[in-house]
């Protein structure tokens, strides 16, 4: 393992964890957060399974327990992020709507963190559902990591 070139990426649940970990440590050279949940309150209120998520994942509606929702949201750690972070989501993703990525992108911009936003047109939660989308996804991730790689 090259400890000088550690990168992190994940999508969906892995996107949540990638956004969370860059708010907890600066050990990674760069990160790619794909189709994440960034703010559990906004997610529960407009994702495709609102009734299910609030009932079974949280047990309460966001306004009944706002502190718990925010505490579990990667957005609550945005002020700690220093890792260059790319966000990537399909424009037609109803499971983790693109507004989740937009929130983190904007928060990182406000914090002065190097960030980029990749919007995959015509794509839902399965970003790589078409060969062209798969190529775009891989090319974007590799370009972002290569930008921060040290020789």
Backbone phi, psi, residue 102, to 5° = -60, -35
Catalytic residue of the set 54, 76, 125, 140: 125
Give the sign of the dihedral formed by CA 14, CA 20, CA 24, CA 30: positive
Residue 35 gets the label, from left (phi > 0), alpha (psi -120 to 50) or beta, of: left
Residue 137 to residue 125: CA distance in whole angstroms? 13
Q: What gap in Å lies between CA 16 and CA 29, rounded to an integer? A: 18
**Does residue 125 have an active-site annotation?**
yes
12 tagged catalytic: yes
Catalytic residue among 12, 42, 54, 101: 12
* Residue 51: Cβ-neighbour burial (10 angstroms; 0-12, 13-18, 19+): exposed
Q: What SS3 class is residue 59?
A: coil
Q: Which residues are catalytic?
A: 12, 125
């Amino acid at each position: 393992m090259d400890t000088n070139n550690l990168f992190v990426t994940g999508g969906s649940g892995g996107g949540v964890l990638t956004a969370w970990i860059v708010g907890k440590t600066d050990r990674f050279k760069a990160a790619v957060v794909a189709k994440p949940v960034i703010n559990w309150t906004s997610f529960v209120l407009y994702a495709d399974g609102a009734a299910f998520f609030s009932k079974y994942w949280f047990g309460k509606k966001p306004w009944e327990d706002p502190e718990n929702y925010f505490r579990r949201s990667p957005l609550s750690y945005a002020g700690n992020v220093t890792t260059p972070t790319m966000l990537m989501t399909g424009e037609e993703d109803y499971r983790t709507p693109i507004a989740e990525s937009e929130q983190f992108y904007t928060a990182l911009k406000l914090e002065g963190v190097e960030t980029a936003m990749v919007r995959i047109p015509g794509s839902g939660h399965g970003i790589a559902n078409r060969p062209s989308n798969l190529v775009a996804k891989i090319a974007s991730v590799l370009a972002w990591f290569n930008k921060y790689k040290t020789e």
